[in-house]
A and B are shown apart, each in its own frame.
Chain A
Amino acid sequence: MNEVPLMHILFVSTALFFIGMYGLFTRRNMITMLMSIELMLNSVNINFVAFNKYLFPEKLDGIFFTIFIITIAAAEAAVAIAIIINLYRSHQSIDVDDATEMKF
């Protein structure tokens, strides 16, 4: 199946990455922002796996990196959600534009 060049997979992952970034920039709901970040991380995973598979198959660095990224993403998401919940308690909202007390 090598007739699908690496290039294309990278394009896909890049696209996904920037889709996620778009979400992060535009979404006002914190949870959706979190989702966008997950998307970005996933695109990175795709990169790693692709590179590992296509270019450097003799070692499994990419694979392992992916695994750890996923784990960390989980931890991050957990903490983020905890914080969001706490913030919801105090602000009664998870709209990111409502949490702008501190500025300038």
Chain B
Amino acid sequence: MSTTQLLAPNVSAQHWADPSHPDDRPFIRKYVFSTDHKTIGNQFMFMSLFFLLVGGALAMMIRWQLGWPGQPMPGGGVLPETMAPGGILLPEFYNSLVTMHGTFMIFFAIMPLLVGMFGNWLIPLHVGASDMAFPRLNMMSFWTAVPAGFIMLTSFAVEGGAAGAGWTAYPPLSAVPEYSGVSTGQQLWCVSLVILGFSSLMGAVNYITTIVNMRAPGMTWLRLPLPVWALFITAILILLAMPILAGALIMLLFDQTLGTTFFLPETGGQPLLWQHLFWYFGHPEVYILILPAMGIASEVIANGSRKPIFGYPAMVGAIIAIAFLGWIVWGHHMFQSGMNPLLGSSFMLSTMIIAVPSAIKVFNWLGTIWRGDIHFHTPMLNALAFVGMFVIGGLSGVFMASTPVDIYIHDTYFIVAHIHYVLFGGSLFAIFAGIYFWFPKFFGRMLNPTLGKIHFALTFVFYNLVFFPMHNLGLGGMMRRIYDPNQYGFLEPLQPMNTFISVFALALGASQLVFIINILWSLWRGERAPENPWSSNSLEWDLPSPPPHGNFEAMPAVYRGPYEYSYPGRGEDFWPQSEPPDGQQVSVKTGGSPVAEGVPQ
């Protein structure tokens, strides 16, 4: 094929924004079945926040049961007999609560928020493209995620209730209805996740192609904003990990419905096979849930402290290193599973080594705020909280990574504490930071800073009061996923602490109302957002808020890295990537598309 076809495929067939004539898409194309990455990002935001709310509500019920075991839950009367007769939660319902809480939070809240929402919002704008490489595929990615979530929700209503084998769904429990009392629910769980897998897959293909092929002139790899780097690596993780989960889920589904015995020992199946496949997906998955958060935090922290990110190349290297190591540590979830102890030792080693690239990131964040000029806008507050909390979660990970210590704390609340320090303290705080940071760009209105700071303060305080004591519960020997600790004499002394946790958990849930109100209010009443409210550098801030359909009017040109803050001898303390060096004029035709003809369509 002729070289002209090979050259610069990225400039071909991009439909840049055209200010001269208005965007005349019919309503349905504009807001519902839109192929515009910004709209799809917004759609992902609303969907995932809804599921975050659901997951949160389930958590509230969990906490009620643990705080006041066997007490009728206020308003619990509305639940059907099969769940909570007279408002008293049943053990089988509790198992469903825990399972669905984990499932919703991980697969339907955090993952679509980080990957679906931020991926769509940021990638095309940050690389300077008019849209994703495959806009229609992008739309399908969202519209397959919705039914997946819907199926997951409806599984509460089916005979036997929702899946109740934990979000890790270990067979035989998850494969044999007689053991768990759940049949249809567990199958719907598998189906829903397979569908969600397709959705993520479509997203990943899109992201990778867009980032590799559609970067604007001058946007070299080492000038990419860190969120894009993180999302790129994350997309690769999704691409390679999701199929493994899909395969495992399908085998589980066969065991449940057809009568195969992949995971059932009677005729030689291997229960541990599921665990290997699940965690071979599962650990990359948890890095899918943290890497984008790290990217967002880096962006916000550099902006908030008006300083270039400390050691950009090292930050990129660390992301890659974490992602790679993430593939060879899955066994650390199986130390006590009966897996060969020698294998355990090697998994301990690989797991521990992940602390090193993580260290690089943490200390480089510290290096970034060091001698900075820190502005405490709401995004910055959340980003700083992210650093502080992620460190706690990460360090507790090191305890579990040590095989002998894990003997004691495996499947105790120490793990639960870890989960929430990395996922809530890590991912969710970064998500809050990102939402406060980019909301103005995509909805054209600022989020109210006062409400924002209140929300942050309440969340931060209550969050720590809820999850830090869980470490002690774990050290006290309290197992996970137990409906009523008081069944064990040695756990009764922990009840006051459980009640304490529950009180503040309810408070934590309630304080999220501030956030909801802030979002809903600001959508219509918030003060109009300027082009560049945070005086930030990356390309999207040159555009009106919200950016027009097609983003840029012509292929933008990029002259420098994204973190040139406080450059000596400049008037203002930021330096947009697109600003040509010393006043030289931008030619609208920069990088134009002369080479575009004849690229196969």
Q: Answer whether A and B are interacting partners.
A: no
Give A contacts to B, CB under 8 Å.
Answer: none
